[in-house]
Amino acid sequence: MKKFNFFLLAICFTGIFLAVSCENREPESQISNLTFTPCKQPQQTKAKSSSPLDGVNVEFTSNGVQITYNNFAVTCDFNTVDVTYTFVNGFLNITQQGSPNQADCVCYSDVSYTINGILQSDVNVIFMVVA
């Protein structure tokens, strides 16, 4: 009898897990309009900024989240910018990296892209990791 009850309990937990998984499924999104500038030197300013993200602008559009990152530090050998993200329970985690990144010198690029299908009302927090 205990084996039978355990089996039913396992089925119930599986059913609950599947229902939660389906309900939390996020809409399929993708990155579009990815553009970046070639290597440039940082803009010379009289006072240094106290925030490393002063060059980041986040705007919600009808297409999704538009990210613009000015003076994104990359290695001098970069020829593309890779952007990946996860979006779970209102947390948008974005990773942005110049590639390849083997050189010992640093330059800067202005990067812009859209993550399609994510609405402002669905986002609680945005984390950006630059590698």
pLDDT digits (tens, 9 = 90+) for 33-79: 999 999 987 654 334 444 445 689 999 999 999 999 999 999 999 99
Whole-number Cα distances in Å, 75 to 32, 94, 99? 23, 19, 8
Query: Confidence band (pLDDT; 50, 70, 90) for 130?
Result: confident
Which is nearest to 71 in space by CA: 21, 122, 130, 14?
130
